[in-house]
Structures are given as structure tokens and as C-alpha cells.
Amino acid sequence: MQFEIRKYHPTDLTALYKICLLTGNSGKDATELFSDSDLLGHFYAAPYAVFEPEICFVVTNNNKPCGYIIGTKDSQKFFEKCEVEWFPILRTRYPVRDVNDKSWDARIIKRIHEGHKVKPELVNFPAHLHIDLLPETQGQGIGRQLMDVFINELKNENVPALHLEVGKANPGAIKFYEKLGFEMIKEYEFSIAFGMSLK
């Protein structure tokens, strides 16, 4: 295996969708959970790469993408851009499902229709990120390297702080963020927000 970290390139977009799905069930493969295999990527991966490719990085194994770190420098601006340039066409394509539809597709479609909102406790942590590595890439220090590269990029842009949200059903990722020095900002019913100052 030969891993390399490099900047995101537009030809990586389909790989981002795949990796997002293959790690989308609290870090495990979510393929069987979805009828529409693009839904997770529409919400959690693609808009970052499309709107802020300059801070997105992929890790490749023998030149094939096998992980990424993606995010935004400014969550408020990013969410506003999603409202105008990302969600409208998806809301038309994926109409709201019946409230009794408890499928995973319906859950993400609901999120697409609700849109994003910056939570008050996260206002002072303007950047946020998503990091996902395929199994063969995990546990070898690559997550830490990707995070270093991403954080350096944010520091170069004078971003004061960043946050992320992780599901409570993903204890490995929680340990990873704690190891890297993130501090808990708030615990929600199913997830935890972690933050880091970059000053």
C-alpha cells in the first residue's frame, strides 16, 4: 500500500460519494441502508468539495482515493450558499417523504429540506469538517496527518476555530478526536460537538 495525501481534484468527486457511503453508518458501510446511494454524499460530502475545494484533501492508495477530509472555513456562509446553490435542486428531485417513512433515505431527505443552521454554541467555531477513511486506510496515522494538513490550511487562512459533530454510535471516532486535542463543546441526544481553537 502506498498512501499519499494531496489536494482534492474535481475528478475525485465520485470517489467522495463512494467513501461517504462506505463509512456512512457510524464509520461503517451504509450501502445496504440506502435505496439511493447518492443521498449521503449529496448532504455530507459533495457541497464541501464543490464550494471549498481549496481546503479539501484526499488520501490515495496507489493513486486511488481511499479517504478524505473536507470542510468549510465559515459554516454560516457555507450554509447560506447551500440554501441558494445546492439544496433547491435536490429539494425538487427528492420531495419530502411521508412522516411515517422511517427509512434512511427519508432521514437524509428531511435534512436536505430542513437545511443547515449554525447552533448558537458553535458560532465561535466557524470552520467545520468531515473526515472519512476506508477501512484499509484506518489505524495507521493517516487520519492524524489529514487533520494536520487541514488545520494548517485553516491557520493559513486565519480561521480562529473549528468544530465537528460525531455520532455517539461511533466511539472510535470520538476517541480519535479526543486524542487529537478536540474538546467537547456540547453533548446532544445522539451526537457530540467537539471544537478546537486555532489561535
Contact residues for ligand COA, defined by CB under 6 A: 23, 27, 131-133, 138-144, 166, 170, 172-173, 175-176, 179
Q: How far is the CB of 162 from ligand COA (least distance, A)?
A: 13
Q: How far is the CB of 99 from ligand COA (least distance, A)?
A: 27
Q: How far apart are CA 94 and CA 22, in angstroms?
A: 22
Minimum separation from the CB atom of position 129 to ligand COA (A): 9
Measured from the CB atom, the residue of 94 and 162 that comes closer to ligand COA is 162
Q: How far apart are CA 192 and CA 27, in angstroms?
A: 15
Least gap, CB of 100 to ligand COA (angstroms) = 29
Q: In this complex, which beta carbon is closest to ligand COA, that of residue 30 or of residue 94?
A: 30
Smallest separation (angstroms) from ligand COA to the CB of 158: 25
- Decide whether 142 or 151 has the Cβ nearer to ligand COA: 142
Closest residue by beta carbon to ligand COA = 143
Three-state SS for 80? helix
- Strand-strand pairing, 57-61 and 191-197: unpaired
Question: Residue 21 or 154: which CB sits closer to ligand COA?
Answer: 21
H helix or E strand, kind and range, residue 67: strand 64-72
CB 153 to ligand COA: min, Å: 17
3-state helix/strand/coil string of 86-134: HHHHHHHHCCCCCCCCCCHHHHHHHHHHHCCCCCHHHCCCCEEEEEEEC
Judged by beta carbon, residue 2 or residue 92, the one nearer ligand COA is 2
Task: For ligand COA, give the closer residue by CB, 94 or 142.
Answer: 142
List Cβ neighbours of 20 (8 Å cut-off, separation of 6 or more).
Answer: 40, 41, 44, 45, 132
DSSP line for 28-53: B--GGG-SSTTHHHHHHTHHHHHH-G
